[in-house]
Structure 1
């Protein structure tokens, strides 16, 4: 095995791959030798991100809304035609909306479930046949500490992410003897667009400054900082390595000890 590029010859598909955690994961997997397909909704952003990756690896992109099953199936077929069977799936795409529980309307509830849970389900089902045929695969679902504990004012998001963790554990049991592992990483507050949106929401609702809002979120982490996308990418990449074959059905917090402290 190539010890410097242990994923050489593997094809990884990363959803929500044009920025934030998704792009950091794609960079890390490319650095380990994988061919990488980025998937998302914004073709221009995906094209630009794939171009940045292409300097160090084979990289391309496919466009799809993960909440739409037909689009997912078509995108996976396009990715396979370009780079071969999909060996690694990183379900990173997600969305968060904040609202008091008694004010969550049906549309908001369905959006959170469709993107964060059903989208993960669609992608896992699309990727699994290649992995079963090849008798090797890695699925890593980017959940959240919201999939492990409750947070006020994001009830629908918490429900969806708890569902992702449960789905991870269920499929891990089914494929445990087939050369495939299924795990989740659960980041705490991470320096991404979702958290920037949360900071803006705090500012709008409370009138505090953006720096004060950022500090409030950072203080949830016992290390007193926001998690960085590269922190999450390192954890995801480790779970994708051939050497991680005994890690299965786990939900790994990447949160500076927040969940433990709770």
Structure 2
């Protein structure tokens, strides 16, 4: 049976390449977009594959849940969740306020948590699931949280969420062999609207590790932070 993949922020950049990669491997892909129009525009360049547009604004918890429930009602359970959408607020730490930090946390952390809460219990129950959180080395303690404050703190938080939810899976398994994994990955510095034109990596290269994690066989990484398919330090 074809597995269902939900990719947030799937209409451009790395997310669009993840969508294309998963389609090429025969998955049914639900492209999560802020608005349907942007999804339909992106779809024009995609030939073939089982692709569906899901309007899912990530700035509102109720809207996320409503969109998720509708998507599952129409297309069936989500087997693979790729939390790719993110925002990069480069406001100087001296000028950051509660509102700007809250906005970054909502899109980069709270929205992924809401989607995990919606999908993970059923994944555990069915005994199969893949959750991939797209993070950044700017959120890595090992690399000194070098990014702008809002971005670095929110990406460090999504890393913490990844570790916690992987532990939740292990606890729920309770010794049973269930094929559910939760991982984080950094695409590296990628030539996208967010990454800028000086970035050395193509969007396809940035998407590779997420696609690999989403499609791996049982026994692959779990509770890890990866770059170029290799574990790195948190």
Q: Do both proteins adopt the same fold according to a TM-score greater than 0.5, normalized to the shorter chain?
A: yes
2:42 match = 49
The residue that corresponds to 2:65 in the other structure is 73
Q: Is the 8 A contact 2:138 2:146 kept in 1?
A: no
The answer (yes or no) to whether the contact 1:15–1:90 under 8 Å persists in 2 is yes
1:242 Cα shift? 4.2
1:151 deviates by: 4.9
State the shift of 1:42 in Å.
2.5
2:195 is aligned to 195
**1:90-128 deviations in whole A, cap 9, x for unaligned?**
000000111221211221111111111111111111221
Equivalent runs, 1:1-20 vs 2, <5 Å: 9-20=2-13
Gaps of 5+ in 2: none
Alignment counterpart, residue 161 of structure 1, candidates 141, 151, 155: 155
- TM-score (normalizing by structure 2): 0.88
**Cα distance, 1:48 vs structure 2:** 2.5
How far the C-alpha of 1:254 sits from its partner, in A, is 4.2
Residue 127 of structure 2 corresponds to 135
For the residues of structure 1 that align with 2:228 and 2:95, how far apart are their CA atoms?
Answer: 30
| Residue 226 of structure 2 is aligned to residue 245 of structure 1 | no
Alignment deviations for residues 154-205 of structure 1 (CA, whole Å, 9 cap, x no partner): 1111011011111111111221333210001112221111123xx7xxxxxx
Residues 133 and 50 (structure 1), Cα distance of their counterparts in 2 relative to 1, 3 Å cut: farther
RMSD: 2.2
| Counterpart residue number, 1:233 | 207
Provide runs of 4+ in structure 1 moved above 6 Å. Answer: none
Pair 1:186-2:186 in alignment: yes
* Alpha-carbon spacing, 1:51–1:133, altered in 2? closer, same or farther (3 Å): farther
1:186-241 Cα shifts (integer Å, max 9, x gaps): 12221111123xx7xxxxxxxxxxxxxx3xxx4xxxxxxx2221112221111112
Contact 2:133/2:185 (<8 A) preserved:
yes
> Quick check: 1:187–1:255 contact (8 Å CA) kept in 2?
no
Q: Does 1:99 align with 2:91?
A: yes
Contact kept? 2:88, 2:104, Cα under 8 Å: yes
Larger Rg, first or second structure (1 or 2): 1
Query: TM-score with structure 1 length normalisation?
Result: 0.79
